Amino acid sequence: MQRRDRGVAQSLGLPITKRVKESRVLLVGAGGIGCEVLKNLVCCGFGSLPAPTRNGASAVMESATEAASREDKQPGIVVIDLDTIDLSNLNRQFLFRKQHIKKPKAFVAKETASAFNPSVNIDAHHASIFDHQYDVGFFETFDLVFNALDNLAARRHVNKMCLAANVPLVESGTTGFNGQVQAIKKGVTECYDCNPKPVQKSFPICTIRSTPSQPIHCIVWAKSYLFPEIFGTSEEDSADVAVTEGDNAEEVAKLKEEAEALKKVRSLMGKSEFAQEVFNKVFHDDIERLRSMSEMWQSRKPPESLTFEKLSREIDADIIKRGQALAIQDQSTWSLHDNFSVFCYSLDALSNRSQAGEKVIEFDKDDKNTLDFVASAANLRSAIFDIPLHSEWEIKQMAGNIIPAIATSNALTASLCVLEAFKIIRSQPAKQQGLAKPTANNNLPTETQSTASGKAEPMLGGSKMVFLNSRSTERMITTQNLVPPNPACPVCSPVYAKLGVPAGTKATLHELVLLLKEKLGHDEFSVTTDAGMVFDPDLDENLPKPLSEYVSESKGNAFITVSDESDEPKVDLILSTLALPEAGSASSTTLQIEPTQLNLPYKPKSSENAEGQPDGEANGEPAPVSIGEGANKRKREADDEVADSIRKKTRGDEEVHVVQDDEAILIDD
Ligand SMILES: Nc1ncnc2c1ncn2[C@@H]1O[C@H](COP(=O)(O)OP(=O)(O)OP(=O)(O)O)[C@@H](O)[C@H]1O
Ligand SMILES: [Zn+2]
């Protein structure tokens, strides 16, 4: 039988192939991208050779979890995923089949992928990457980490862990037809957090409540105003709508009054006139008030209000039954009377649920009654403002911020992840014996590959930021040079060190502060944990508190930030906690910091970065766009952003990935 990894050996050559095979890699997430990455890793032979003796953990400190599992350090691929398999995963997560539904993704992914290449050793964990056992010591045992996640919090956490452990990270994400892969290495490239991430878009309140012009405005109105006012919490809590500078203060006050009046109507729930009152309030009275404000309609078509009485007269059937039947036809665009019927039916169904004890009903795209209500209400409002109506299915995509997950985009992105991994492996020094890991002091930021001119040299073996636009008619895959770290980045500009906390320690915050004074040689600093600032020169009341109040197993892998408060400050120090084994073993029983010598550099002046470049544009490249945070972004915006970033790139930076006839993959230098 032909070996699966023959193509890899042909294109990479034997020495690099050997390194690939001796690698120990971590894959976080076994979903859409993760399944594809795992399949590729296995087929390329990652971790298929028994590794030479490893010296992955630091010689000075070894965490409890690491010590306990020293024997388990050999597997080539470790996959971690917290989820179980859902029916909706099967259309694109090809390691899973129907019989696997409800089983842990990590276990099934391991089982299926192992069969592709039995010489690869896979270790699967059904757990969250935030769990305490995945501490910095655990991360240090890897040569490379792959992120195949779907949320910002976990991405940020792995980014920080990889910085703390000084392990390269391949970050990836897809949004519909677009994908992106970014290699990250401490002190060499930008980290995941060097650029601020786009926040959820919110709409001006007056656009949503008074002058909608697009279907999405009516959908947001139905989902974030009408629905919560009647069945749940009020609009004030919604991130979709905000009072903006452009909003007219007088109109905002009127809108508040209007919402108060709707609350009164809500109290009629359960009474026979409820539907009529709600309908006439929001689709007639409020609209007539808007219509009377003639200055609003000088350049727009004024809205045409509706009445419950007229519409119900025009329907010659039981309206609720009619609505129920129509609600099933979610792919067709309902007429005005259809929407009226579905509105009455869903209002009735939701009122019954509310009367039966569901105090607060939240909009959930998968809760059909709530979707029926939002879709029909949005369409009724669209009809009033002469905006095109949409099918419930289309409205579901918009209301649920759903970006389709495309199997092809995931597969292409996953293969780009592995191509970037080859380059990173190529850039690492060859292993003499075990992993070529940093020793005690070298995760200080000494490693930079930019020249005095600020122009970045090829980094990480020529790795690039890779963009996929699988709908593009020009180039489907484009690249951009990796950029050196942003010297102002709060996540990667600090120096990382480890704080060894012995199991069952009774140490107080005071002991940590004393240790820090000794290491830093001064006492002008503050200490910040997840609980906020716990110490600074003027805040000493927490000193007697046990350290376990801030760092403990149950709190997961906490980071502690130590900031220099002196006039000429040095960069921040981030301590990642490491639970040391029980006393009595080789370890000390007191707190320890590693590296033992902390020579922190001074903070760069705010106007210039480390290479004397203005902040932000380290080498004249546009800031990279981060994608993959589907839940926060509408598809159209995401498409536009990626298309924009692709347009901005210069041809000189482009690189071609070719798949040859003989299956060998060429990687440009
Ligand atoms: N903290 C975490 N630790 C481990 N795995 C995580 C963590 N957060 C998310 N994941 C996993 O990352 C994977 C992301 O995959 P993907 O984007 O395809 O999402 P999905 O949940 O499989 O699909 P969908 O959300 O579209 O139904 C999921 O399998 C999810 O369980
Ligand atoms: Zn950064």
Domains of the chain, start order: 6-198+405-440+479-487 (3.40.50.720), 210-399 (1.10.10.520), 495-594 (3.10.290.20)
Nearest ligand 1 atom to the CA of 29 is: 12
Provide the pLDDT for residue 260: 79
Q: How close is the Cα of 84 to the center of ligand 1, in Å? A: 9
Higher per-residue confidence, 423 vs 445: 423
Provide the pLDDT for residue 294: 87
Lowest pLDDT segment from 70-84, 493-507, 564-578, 613-627 = 613-627
Provide the pLDDT for residue 50: 73
Tokens of 85: 């398999």
440-451 average pLDDT score = 39
Q: How close is the Cα of 1 to the center of ligand 2, in Å? A: 46
Higher per-residue confidence, 207 vs 528: 528
Helix axis angle, 336-355 to 368-384, nearest 10°: 140
Q: For all residues of the chain together, what is the average pLDDT? A: 82
Q: How close is the Cα of 195 to the center of ligand 2, in Å? A: 7
Provide the pLDDT for residue 660: 27
* Confidence band for 641, pLDDT divided at 50, 70 and 90: very low
Distance CA 44, CA 7 (A): 8
Alpha helices in 281-335, H assignment, sequence order: 286-291, 308-314, 319-327
pLDDT reading at 450 higher than 60? no
Q: How close is the Cα of 149 to the center of ligand 1, in Å? A: 5
Nearest ligand 1 atom to the CA of 105 is: 29
pLDDT reading at 615 higher than 50? no
Residue listed under structure tokens 């001006």: 204
State the pTM of this model: 0.71
Q: How close is the Cα of 465 to the center of ligand 2, in Å? A: 15
Provide the pLDDT for residue 461: 87
As for ligand 1, residues whose beta carbon falls within 6 Å of it are: 28-32, 34, 80-83, 88-89, 105, 128-130, 149-151, 154, 405
Q: Do residues 365 and 394 make contact, with C-beta atoms less than 8 angstroms apart?
A: no
Provide the pLDDT for residue 304: 97
Ligand 1, atom 26, lies closest to the CA of 405
Nearest ligand 1 atom to the CA of 88 is: 27
For the annotated binding site for Zn(2+), the residues are 191, 194, 489, 492
Provide the pLDDT for residue 654: 35
Provide the pLDDT for residue 53: 53
Provide the pLDDT for residue 233: 63
Ligand 1, atom 25, lies closest to the CA of 150
Give, for ligand 1, the residue of 39, 79, 80, 81 to mutate: max count of ligand atoms closer than 8 Å to Cβ.
81
Give, for ligand 1, the residue of 27, 37, 83 to mutate: max count of ligand atoms closer than 8 Å to Cβ.
83
DSSP β-bridge partners for residue 562 = 527, 573
Nearest ligand 1 atom to the CA of 80 is: 4
Q: What percent of the chain has pLDDT over 70?
A: 78
Ligand closest to CA 484: 2
* Confidence band for 619, pLDDT divided at 50, 70 and 90: very low
Q: Do residues 484 and 493 make contact, with C-beta atoms less than 8 angstroms apart?
A: no
Q: How close is the Cα of 422 to the center of ligand 2, in Å? A: 23
Higher per-residue confidence, 315 vs 237: 315
Distance CA 124, CA 37 (A): 14
Q: What is the pLDDT of residues 211-243, one digit of tens each?
A: 999 999 999 999 988 998 899 865 445 556 666
Catalytic residue check, 206:
yes
Ligand closest to CA 197: 2
Ligand closest to CA 556: 1
pLDDT reading at 447 higher than 60? no
Higher per-residue confidence, 629 vs 145: 145
The ipTM value here is 0.98
Provide the pLDDT for residue 321: 97
pLDDT reading at 173 higher than 60? yes
Instruction: Specify the pairing of strand 573-580 against strand 495-502.
Output: parallel
Provide the pLDDT for residue 68: 54
Ligand 1, atom 20, lies closest to the CA of 31
Residue 462 gets the label, from left (phi > 0), alpha (psi -120 to 50) or beta, of left
Give the rounded distance of the alpha carbon of 637 from its chain centre. Answer: 17
Provide the pLDDT for residue 640: 42
Ligand closest to CA 153: 1
For the annotated binding site, the residues are 29-34, 81, 89-92, 105, 128-129, 150-155, 191, 194, 489, 492
Ligand 1, atom 29, lies closest to the CA of 31
Helix axis angle, 319-327 to 368-384, nearest 10°: 110
For the annotated binding site for ATP, the residues are 29-34, 81, 89-92, 105, 128-129, 150-155
Q: 342-364: buried (b, 16+ CB within 10 Å) or exposed (e) per residue?
A: bbbbbbbbbbeebeeeeeebebe
Nearest ligand 1 atom to the CA of 405 is: 26
pLDDT reading at 557 higher than 90? no
Q: What is the pLDDT of residues 506-527, one digit of tens each?
A: 889 999 999 999 999 898 999 9
32-52 average pLDDT score = 90
Q: How close is the Cα of 493 to the center of ligand 2, in Å? A: 6
454-471 average pLDDT score = 80
Q: What is the pLDDT of residues 259-293, one digit of tens each?
A: 778 888 888 999 999 999 999 999 999 999 999 98
pLDDT reading at 379 higher than 60? yes
Name the active-site residue from 44, 162, 206, 417: 206
194-210 average pLDDT score = 80
Ligand 1, atom 28, lies closest to the CA of 31
- Give long-range contacts, CB 8 A cutoff, 24+ apart: 524-527: 524/564, 524/565, 524/566, 525/562, 525/563, 525/564, 525/565, 526/562, 526/563, 526/565, 527/560, 527/561, 527/562
41-56 average pLDDT score = 76
pLDDT reading at 247 higher than 70? no
Provide the pLDDT for residue 243: 63
Lowest pLDDT segment from 30-39, 267-276, 574-583 = 574-583
